[in-house]
Amino acid sequence: MFISRVSRFGTQMVKRLTKGTLTSAPKTGNLPKVYNYFFHSLKHQTFSTTTAHEEGDKEVEEISVTFVDKDEMETHIKVPIGMSMLEAAHEHDIELEGACEGSCACSTCHVIVRDMEYYNKLEDPTDEENDMLDLAFGLTETSRLGCQMTAKPELDGICLELPSATRNFAVDRYAKAT
């Protein structure tokens, strides 16, 4: 969060310098004013490492996604176009593990698309994704890896079910499903 804020601060300084609204680099006496201006004006903005949020003043298009956990509790969230479902789940504290951090090297972000209509709108899974899905607990015909599903406008309203368990071989020591 701090790095995003510092990056945003630098980006806005450069924009203001190129537009002419900030005529020079701040002197020592002006630093608190410049600091307050930038950091307090950014206080209520959403910060993210995704490209969509770093495009400055542009409006970010989002889709609605519903996650259903193993207890059938639904969580409705907004996901920016281009963000993976794994990243979106992590941003909203939804318990979708993602042990490999989205590199398609595990099956812990396995989700089940509840509606075949939405499943058919997804790109076909790659061979690597299919290999990882073969290791997933509770595999279904509409199973996908959350790290490989990217938000796009035609997926607005998609409902993703979290399986009742995952297999994390690094934690489980190849022994059991958790």
Per-residue tokens: 60: 């970010």
Q: What is the pTM of this model?
A: 0.63
| 101 is a domain residue | yes
133: CATH: 3.10.20.30
CA gap 11, 110 in Å, rounded: 36
| 112 is a domain residue | yes
Residue 119: the pLDDT is 98
| Domains identified in the chain, total number | 1
| 81 is a domain residue | yes
| 48 is a domain residue | no
Residue 166: the pLDDT is 79
| 144 is a domain residue | yes
| 31 is a domain residue | no
3-state SS, the chain, equals CHHHHHHHHHHHHHHHHHHCCCCCCCCHHHHHHHHHHHHHHCCCCCCCCCHHHHCCCCCCCEEEEEEECCCCCEEEEEEECCCEHHHHHHHCCCCCCCCCCCCCCCCCCEEEECCHHHHHHCCCCCHHHHHHHCCCCCCCCCEEEHHHCECCHHHCCEEEECCCCCCCHHHHCCCCCC
| 110 is a domain residue | yes
Q: Write out the residue range of the structural domain in which residue 69 sits.
A: 62-161
| 152 is a domain residue | yes
Residue 46: φ, ψ to 5°: -80, 135
Residue 49: the pLDDT is 35
pLDDT in tens, the chain (178 residues): 444 444 555 555 555 555 554 444 444 444 444 444 444 444 444 443 333 444 455 677 999 999 999 999 999 999 999 999 999 999 999 999 999 999 999 999 999 999 999 999 999 999 999 999 999 999 999 999 999 999 999 999 999 999 988 777 554 444 444 4
Residue 69: the pLDDT is 94
